[in-house]
């Protein structure tokens, strides 16, 4: 009685008490097990999406329209009760809708999961976590200080599908970045795209600026993806290809207006990342721009879980993979000689440092 007089909602009041003690804080109320379940379900969630893509469910539903499980099972050659269980899980993940037993695409599926969606990630899902076997070996990787089968042992096998899978997102990001960088307004800019993958950055500049030319680098084998994308965009006449290791391929000094380091630093360790930034500075003419795209972490490595997990993904799959903080990248850029650092985010979760190689007055404007 005394409690109800004290407050109309005594339990609520009790659970919202500030009676936290210690650091990290603890509370007299037992915490929910939800974060543990979220981790356990992470495996199920991923495989539900992967199976739905492997069975072509999003594209099939896209062409049939809302459909029940037995009919979809006949079309996809699957077992109806098993398919229904899978479809219900996809609905639970928020990636399809179900009304009156009919499964249909929702806005998320239409944008990201059908293969011709405007921001499709359909080809990315299988490759984004890196080689799947490495996750089962994570504790050993941490003990040993590196994965047993790093991507570097067979980079072409991993990076060809990755370059295909990331292209749509990165191309959207690179095209949108023009609103911030204005590469379309430069006079006959020359672009160097190191570790270019499908070359989304070079292609964005070439598309936006008819006077632009590009040198596109990647490992032999992976460079074929860029060649295909460049050809698809009808840009082949303005591109030179530079196969080889981005740490050692010869780069003419002072000869580029834009150098792109697109998601290539976090596999290289701190020394490798600094080396690439130094190479970019060397290759740029005075007044030129470096673009460093990556997933950056905050100084305490805890307020951007997406970037933190990306770092763990790199650790699980590559020899030197880690993510670095905004501060580390800024320091390395300044140490290499860059000025006017700024951070842009042309589309959600895709950030780039943009910085300028300052003019010394010794090089003629527009000089190479």
Which stretches of the chain bind ligand SAM, using CB under 6 A? 155, 159, 162-163, 166, 170, 195-197, 200, 217-219, 222, 245-246, 262-264, 293
Output 73 or 162, the one with its CB closest to ligand SAM.
Answer: 162
Residue 199 Cβ, how far from ligand SAM at the closest point, in Å?
7
Output 122 or 293, the one with its CB closest to ligand SAM.
Answer: 293
Output 52 or 175, the one with its CB closest to ligand SAM.
Answer: 175
Q: How many residues are recorded in the chain?
A: 368
Residue 233 Cβ, how far from ligand SAM at the closest point, in Å?
15
Output 89 or 290, the one with its CB closest to ligand SAM.
Answer: 290
Residue 160 Cβ, how far from ligand SAM at the closest point, in Å?
8
Helices 34-54 & 80-92 angle (0-180, nearest 10):
130
Distance in angstroms (rounded) separating the CA atoms of residues 19 and 26: 8
Distance in angstroms (rounded) separating the CA atoms of residues 309 and 288: 33
CB 190 within 8 Å of CB 202: no
Output 51 or 242, the one with its CB closest to ligand SAM.
Answer: 242
Buried-exposed string 16-51: b where 16+ CB fall within 10 A, e elsewhere:
eeeeeeeeeeeeeeeeeeeeeeeeeeeeebbebbeb
Residue 360 Cβ, how far from ligand SAM at the closest point, in Å?
29
Output 98 or 267, the one with its CB closest to ligand SAM.
Answer: 267
Output 170 or 191, the one with its CB closest to ligand SAM.
Answer: 170
Residue 326 Cβ, how far from ligand SAM at the closest point, in Å?
18
Residue 316 Cβ, how far from ligand SAM at the closest point, in Å?
15
Residue 244 Cβ, how far from ligand SAM at the closest point, in Å?
7
């Amino acid at each position: 009685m005394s409690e109800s007089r004290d407050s109309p909602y005594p339990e609520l009041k009790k659970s919202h008490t500030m009676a936290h003690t210690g650091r990290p804080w603890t509370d007299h109320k037992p915490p929910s097990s939800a974060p543990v379940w979220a981790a356990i379900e992470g495996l199920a969630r991923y495989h539900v999406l992967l199976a739905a893509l492997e069975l072509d469910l999003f594209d099939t539903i896209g062409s049939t329209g809302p459909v029940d499980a037995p009919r979809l099972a006949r079309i996809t050659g699957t077992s109806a009760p098993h398919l229904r269980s899978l479809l219900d899980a996809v609905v639970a993940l928020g990636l399809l809708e179900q009304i009156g037993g009919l499964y249909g695409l929702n806005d998320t599926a239409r944008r990201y999961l059908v293969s011709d969606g405007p921001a499709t990630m359909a080809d990315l899902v299988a490759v984004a976590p890196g080689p799947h076997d490495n996750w089962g070996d994570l504790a050993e990787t941490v003990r040993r200080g590196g994965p047993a089968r790093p991507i570097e042992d067979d980079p072409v096998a991993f990076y060809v599908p990755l370059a295909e899978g990331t292209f749509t997102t990165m191309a959207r990001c690179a095209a949108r970045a023009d609103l911030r960088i204005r590469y379309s307004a430069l006079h006959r800019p020359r672009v160097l795209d190191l570790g270019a993958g499908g070359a989304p950055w070079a292609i964005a500049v070439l598309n936006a600026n008819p006077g632009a030319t590009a040198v596109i680098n990647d490992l032999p084998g992976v460079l074929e993806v860029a060649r295909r994308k460049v050809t698809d965009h009808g840009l082949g006449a303005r591109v030179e290809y530079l196969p080889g290791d981005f740490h050692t391929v010869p780069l003419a000094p002072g000869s580029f207006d834009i150098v792109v380091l697109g998601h290539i630093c976090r596999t290289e360790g701190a020394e490798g990342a600094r080396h690439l930034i130094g190479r970019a500075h060397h290759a740029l003419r005075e007044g030129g721009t470096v673009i460093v795209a990556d997933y950056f972490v905050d100084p305490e490595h805890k307020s951007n879980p997406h970037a933190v997990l990306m770092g763990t993904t790199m650790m699980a799959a590559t020899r030197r993979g880690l993510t670095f903080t905004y501060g580390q990248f800024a320091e390395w850029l300044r140490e290499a000689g860059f000025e006017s650092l700024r951070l842009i985010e042309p589309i959600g979760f895709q950030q780039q440092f943009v910085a300028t190689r300052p003019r010394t007055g010794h090089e003629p404007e527009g000089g190479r």
